[in-house]
Amino acid sequence: MKSLLQIASALAIVLPVLGAEAAAPATSPGPALSFRVERGSDPIGTHTVSFTRKGDDLHVAIDIELAVSFGPITLFRYEHRNRETWRDGRLVALETVTNDDGDEYRVSAKATEEGLEVTSSANGTFIAPTEIIPTSYWHPATVSQTQLLDTQKGRILNVGITPTGMREATAGGETLPVREYEMTGDLELKLWYSPKMEWLNVIFRARGEDVDYRVVRIDRQELQVALQ
């Protein structure tokens, strides 16, 4: 199941086996967003996004855990832990650890005077643009980007993003109108956001089937505070 987080980053769902380096800088009462991830009509895991403010900094904790099984046999496992720090609307630090079915990736980034310095186990060290957005999709500025930072392999992805119309999604027990955006280029997927630009879905193809997110928990107050 190649690039379940070309997402989710896609998509760059928890990872206790990969070490304390990925521990969150702060904790929150619970995720602002919690998704059930489905492939076809079958649930394959979870994806959560939590926010914590400490002074001027917004800390974002993203946890993804996916597994595809046949009976008692696990055919594929994907785990991703991402910790982001934002200040004044910009990404100033990032730490990720990924287990892509046995292949481990690590990415770290920090703001410098030259730009965002990225160090990746897959792609070495380089300077990314200061205002680059990571592939975690919660940030509303995602839909206006032509480049994104891959949170799994630590590389710059070139993308085009086009609005494709309105849909409906169920979140927190209510049905909401959503705006759909199609991403092309180095990533091919669809993103859904509420009229207030709350991230509500990502849809992409994997091995001939759609992988689809279903919101099972949304704290809209916490989301709006984070998006300010």
* Domain total in the chain: 1
Average pLDDT over every residue of 62-89:
91
Range of the domain at 191: 16-227
How much is the pTM? 0.84
Residue 113 lies in a domain: yes
In the block, tokens 């992409």 appear at 204
Helices (H) and strands (E) in the chain, counts: 1, 15
Residue 11 lies in a domain: no
Residue 192 lies in a domain: yes
Residue 40 lies in a domain: yes
Identify the band that residue 29 occupies on the pLDDT scale cut at 50, 70 and 90.
low
CB contact set of 189 (below 8 Å; sequence gap of 6+):
6, 7, 10, 11, 182, 183, 202, 203, 204
Residue 7 lies in a domain: no
Residue 10 lies in a domain: no
Residue 195 lies in a domain: yes
What pLDDT score was predicted for residue 6?
43
